[in-house]
Chain A
Amino acid sequence: MGTLLQLSLRQLAGRRRLLLLIISLAALPVVVAAILTGLVSDGGSYRSSFINGLLDGMIVAGVLPIVTMTLATAAFGHELEDHTLGYLVLNPIPRWWIVLAKFLASVLVAGPLLIASGVATILLGLDLDWQTAATVAASLLVGVVTYSAIFTWAGLMTTRALSFALVYVFLWEGVTTTFLGGVRYLSVRGYTLALLHGFDGEVFDTLGSRAIELPAALVGAGVVTFLFFWLTVRRLRRMDVA
């Protein structure tokens, strides 16, 4: 298992252009927060706009899914593209080990990067304490884990996983969940916002109108993660490896 994880991490880390892209994306909200801090004075409406615009609009709805999508679809995508998946499946190891290694590699690369981005943005823009930072970190981590499960599956399902993921992120997570309240129960963005609001309702009270209940979000994220992990293992067992 450790061997597979090490290999998967090395594969992701070896893609310099991909790393540069996700680091740039993760740095974007931090840069915007730094600029806003210099330009706009603190106040009630500022905090609300910051949370709605930068935390939800840019990080949770944009950077979080895009960075995770880029890494998680590549986890299996590159093996399929390079025709190296055979080296993994032609071994006496359970298929779920392979899936777990790919999934964990995405979480281990995307997680710290997005948490650092989210925490730095919040600390810079709102000058909050470390407890709030921990809330942001935990919520983003749940988002990373759930998205990683979905996009790892997508990477194994199709060679056009990135296109599929982009459509999913913008249509489902972006447009649909904004206009259809019930869909938030089936949305990773909805889970992440619910965790932010559920863990710290005072600071993130502005998210209240869009957040589902905390237990529902925790259960939803768990179910989606498990379901897509299982679907990925099933796919790996059934697919023809070229």
Chain B
Amino acid sequence: MTDREAASAAIPTIQASGVSKWFGDVVAVNDVSLQAYPGITGLLGPNGAGKTTLLHLLSGLAGPSQGVVSVLGEPPRNNPNLYQRVGIMSEHEAVYGFQTGRQFVELAARLHQLTPLSPPVDRAIEAVGMAEAQNRVLDDYSRGMKQRMRLAASLVHDPEVLLLDEPLNGTDPRQRIEFQGLLQQLAKEGRTILISTHILEEVETLTDSILLMINGRLAAAGDFRTIRAKLDDRPYTVRIRCADPRSMASALVRLEEVESVSFDPDGSLVVLNRNASSFQLSVPRLAQKHGIRLFGVEPLDDSLESVYSYLVEA
């Protein structure tokens, strides 16, 4: 049994069932169901996809409008005792600027009522490589240094679950590698780490296991490469508006990935194809080759388009 299979067989550490969150008329998270297991899971999606709201729901900072959330088998909302086992790093980079880095981590340790205080604080600061700068005031830190101290504060109580919202923001490439190494080490120790990012490559080096959010919905979940392969195989419909639809249609039907081409009453072409990535490249080439003026290429399956372009173009 592989590690992944073993993890799948285990009880999910983080679970959401039919979770939605809306603010007035705006639906930020729409009917999301997910599970996360020990190891690293990447929560991917473009800005505004609902990742932060979802993390707020999982961390108990916000309550779901609908659905159920559980972390380590308990509801996170209004359950302060759960934070003894969960570490959270929110997307806001604000800190108490008047404190030193060490005081900031000590504050977290005190609020977790850790005694004695020094060993866990030292360990957390060492883990993020900030021992030398720990006595400097946070206001004097770079963005990356603040992020590392914030991670130290969320690690100080040795949590089983880590929810990290864009933790690599502001870090330089070297810090990023160190950060990734630390997260991998923490995951090896059996922790569940859910890390959100809008940059695919950040997660690609950490894990294959992703949750992909688009427009508030969970668009895909599972192994990154499998998702990508499946998307390549799915039929994908596009509307093409051009100056000479007939010539364009006859050129398109010769493409291997095109399944069918039909004419809409408004003169546009509706094309069903099986490989979006090569199709996206082929259309402008064909138009150029045949001297056909393209007015527009419009995907008819918005969510799929978004998922696809996100995964392909990232």
Contacts and interface: CB of A to CB of B under 8 A. Distances in A.
Interface residues on B, range: 20 to 34
A93 B96 CA distance: 19
A10 to B, nearest CB: 7
Closest 6 CB pairs of A and B: A83-B92, A240-B62, A91-B111, A3-B110, A241-B61, A92-B84
Contact of A86 (B61, B80, B112, B113): B61
Residue from A11, A82, A88, A92 having most chain B Cβ neighbours under 10 A = A92
Interface residues of A, number: 24
17 contacts: A3-B110, A7-B107, A14-B98, A83-B92, A84-B92, A84-B94, A84-B95, A86-B61, A87-B107, A90-B59, A90-B83, A92-B82, A92-B113, A240-B63, A241-B61, A242-B61, A242-B92
B148 interface: no
B78 to A, nearest CB: 5
B146 interface: no
Residue from A4, A88, A237, A240 having most chain B Cβ neighbours under 10 A = A240
Interface in B43-62: 56, 59-62
A36 B223 CA distance: 80
A227 interface: no
B61 A3 contact: no
B83 to A, nearest CB: 5
A86 B110 contact: no
Contacts of B111: 3-4, 88, 91-93
A89 interface: yes
B196 to A, nearest CB: 15
Interface in A61-94: 82-84, 86-94
B108 A91 contact: yes
A92 to B, nearest CB: 5
A92 B96 contact: no
Contacts of A240: 56, 61-63
B129 to A, nearest CB: 22
Given A10-B98, A84-B95, A237-B78, A90 B88 contact: yes
A47 interface: no
Nearest to B106: A3
B81 interface: yes
B30 interface: no
Residue from A11, A87, A237 having most chain B Cβ neighbours under 10 A = A87
A49 B280 CA distance: 85
B90 interface: yes
